Structure 1
Amino acid sequence: MSKSINKVVLAYSGGLDTSAIVPWLKENYDCDVVAFVADVGQGDEELEGIEAKAIASGASSCHIVDLKEKFAREVIYPTLKTGAIYEGQYLLGTALARPIIAQAQVDVARKVGADALAHGCTGKGNDQVRFESAFAALAPELTVIAPWREWTMRSRPDLLAYLAERNIPCSASVTKIYSRDANLWHISTEGGELEDPWNEPTEQVWTWTVAPEQAPDQPQYLQLSFQQGELTHIDGQAYAPVEAILHLNQIAGAHGVGRLDMVENRLVGMKSRGCYETPAGEVLRAAMLGLESLVLDRTTQDYRIRLGNEFAQLMYDGRWFTPLKDVMLAAATKIAEPLSGDIVVKLYKGQVTVTQKRSPNSLYSNAFATFDEDEVYNQKHAEGFIRLYSLASRIRALHQQADDDGAGKE
């Protein structure tokens, strides 16, 4: 390769791609490879034995960093305040995790004295942009290596053959159907029958949620308590962010809540299909919307909706480490200041519905909204308001009438 690299820190998952990347880096860059594993809540099954696997692949060491708490407190909860949802559907499960993974990878690189970073993202996906944009913002002096954009291997059989030639163990097989990515917030599934959008997903696709048809016949109610837009209690019991998300994932998933089958527009220009499961996210989004409807005035709520759309685009496009993100989160935090109160949601057959809401900062007043006689609103005042509200239409109509009258006289 053109540039001399002494030590590289690889974002390592233990899957087929990164297992092949370790020996490939050593052979092609003649460098020391340090494996970095981010624990973002993907589960013990994926992390079990991963350090030994990395060493067996040729890594000199393996650093496993627990990022779950940071992920929940510094990314998930702040993003919830923005109301971000990509293309009206996607709760950004994959995109949310990338900034803290990239940041921790840079931290490990500096700790071990590396001069390069590597990732296993393909040249067709969004993640290459997300990771490398973060690297550029955090460590522009480090070289970035993206093997999928350099090597000649193009398929799973190619990678398996590469590892077999070097007697490197790997649990992957040619017959693997799906590609999955899991973290505390969600799990995504691609591949298999999903590559044809005319195919309905089979139940093999879904791993966190039961089919709504198989969910309990009785609904379950949960009371969620919020302080300044952050969940603090579930059914009166205090929960830290990580525990709250895990708890809601389990409960809501059992009711079939949180499934999404979506064809989305990737940042790189192509469309892709994925099935996402975000049970806790769907519950929290519904609860936040219910609380906002009670507390925020019309113009603030309209702005929050626009902010959510723009922040979703920012997150999806990998622009977390930018001044714009800081500005937008500051606005969302300010908007969320009065979002304290209780929301009751009903979970039933794949649906989450807000059934009750209350807040000390509620702008709803029965004294104003009632059809009965009241002392705070004189209905006669509405006439002047409507006349001013429709003034532009009135003036336009008068002009049109004058023009029509003039034309008739000719």
Structure 2
Amino acid sequence: MKKKVILAYSGGAASSAAIPWLREHHNAEVVAVIVDLGQREPLDSVRQRAIASGAARAHVLDWRETYVRNFVLPVVQSGAVTPEQSDLPESLGRPLEAKALVEIAAIEGANAVAHAARTKTDGARIASAVTALNPDLEVIATAQEWDLKPSDLTDFAKSRGIPEVSGGLPSASRSAGPPAPAYVALDFRAGVPVRVNGVEMDLVELATSLDTICDPHGVAGTVALGMAHDALQQEVLPADLASVMPEMRRKYAGLIRSGKWFSASREAIDAMMAKLQANVNGSARVKIQDGVCEVVSRVN
């Protein structure tokens, strides 16, 4: 009897190859889950690619609001997004993907979930989050099972008739950004960003606009948001709390990197930081250029 496996599907080469791999090596019916966190590729085409690669079904979840409000915003308010932790946003989507896997597994009546994360560290983040939500689910790491070189993965995909895709492998370099820096003014009300360069937006629109401005300069929008918020928050932190903030930031970042988003420790830090947000009001202006973001002015 075939087992049903819920696969976190991105549309890239590795997750596309994971579908026939699971069918062949686990005798599985594969159901793909595509989580919309604000990707720019039309997700209907990603869904079609999953079906063409052999998935029985593909669920597309529009979780942009959930991602920005319940994941990005708490991280920004925690102060964990610093120049030293500028790559932290890259890990932030994993707990939400894990949540999607667990929820769709319950809907589909599946006992196993899978992902195609290329590194053991990234895969461990997903597995840890899945286990925190449902310890009874089996977690299959296809990229760790097959141990294929990029050329072998391409050959495997071609031999199974998988549509050619891009984005499955990391790029070797990044092209140079615009010669002139970008300046962005971010306004906050009770710790929540409300305006970009004077234009009021809801959270999803704001995050999308910020990424559009920051991406060409090699900076994640979440980093710009975090640094602007921190510049204002530092002005209103009680002195006794300010002294322990550096350690708390490191702890919070460590929880995210180790896949412990769904933990009492993370929730406790969020609860404490939420108490401070009423006083985080004002505007901070950041300069973004060549992968560097710095605060150049602030008005509380």
Common fold by TM > 0.5: yes
The reply on whether 1:75 has 2:75 as its aligned counterpart is no
- 1:164 aligns with 158
CA contact (8 A) 1:22 1:33 kept: yes
- 1:106 aligns with 102
CA RMSD of the aligned region, Å?
2.4
The reply on whether 1:345 has 2:285 as its aligned counterpart is yes
Instruction: Output the CA distance in 2 between the equivalents of 1:231 and 1:154.
Output: 44
- 1:197 aligns with none
The reply on whether 1:15 has 2:9 as its aligned counterpart is no
C-alpha distance after superposition, 1:228-284 (max 9, x if no partner): 211123344432111111222233456x3xx3xxxxxxxxxxxxxxxxx31x23332
* SS class of match (1:22): helix
CA contact (8 A) 1:282 1:352 kept: no
The reply on whether 1:126 has 2:144 as its aligned counterpart is no
Q: What displacement does 1:286 show?
A: 2.9
Gaps of 5+ in 1: 180-189, 193-200, 260-276, 359-410
C-alpha distance after superposition, 1:111-170 (max 9, x if no partner): 111121011123x4321111101111111112121222323x521221222222233322
Q: What displacement does 1:93 show?
A: 1.4
1:121 to 1:235, Cα distance in 2 relative to 1, 3 A: closer
Instruction: Output the CA distance in 2 between the equivalents of 1:346 and 1:164.
Output: 46
* SS class of match (1:50): helix
- 2:270 aligns with 329
- 1:215 aligns with 180
* Superposition TM-score, scaled by structure 1 size: 0.67
* Superposed structure 1 runs of 4+ greater than 4 Å apart: 348-351
Instruction: Output the CA distance in 1 between the equivalents of 2:63 and 2:283.
Output: 29
1:347 to 1:102, Cα distance in 2 relative to 1, 3 A: same
What code does the residue aligned with 1:292 have? Q
* Superposition TM-score, scaled by structure 2 size: 0.89
Instruction: Output the CA distance in 2 between the equivalents of 1:106 and 1:96.
Output: 17
- 2:203 aligns with 241
Instruction: Output the CA distance in 1 between the equivalents of 2:184 and 2:260.
Output: 37
Instruction: Output the CA distance in 2 between the equivalents of 1:64 and 1:297.
Output: 44
CA contact (8 A) 2:129 2:262 kept: yes
Instruction: Output the CA distance in 1 between the equivalents of 2:195 and 2:162.
Output: 48
Instruction: Output the CA distance in 2 between the equivalents of 1:141 and 1:130.
Output: 17
Q: Of 211, 228, 232, which aligns to 2:194?
A: 232
- 2:148 aligns with 154
1:165 to 1:234, Cα distance in 2 relative to 1, 3 A: closer
Gaps of 5+ in 2: none
Q: What displacement does 1:18 show?
A: 1.6
Aligned pairs for 1:4-403 within 5 A = 6-44=3-41, 47-85=43-81, 88-122=84-118, 124-151=119-146, 153-172=147-166, 179=169, 190-192=170-172, 201-203=173-175, 210-211=177-178, 214-215=179-180, 220=183, 222=185, 224-253=186-215, 256=217, 259=218, 277-278=219-220, 280-340=221-281, 342-347=282-287, 349=289, 351-358=293-300
* SS class of match (1:49): helix
Instruction: Output the CA distance in 1 between the equivalents of 2:174 and 2:100.
Output: 36
* SS class of match (1:63): strand
What code does the residue aligned with 1:354 have? V
1:306 to 1:18, Cα distance in 2 relative to 1, 3 A: same
Matched residues, percent identical?
30
1:252 to 1:313, Cα distance in 2 relative to 1, 3 A: same
C-alpha distance after superposition, 1:206-229 (max 9, x if no partner): 6xxx34xx126xx7462x332221
Higher relative contact order (CA 8 A, sep 6+): 2
Q: What displacement does 1:62 show?
A: 0.6
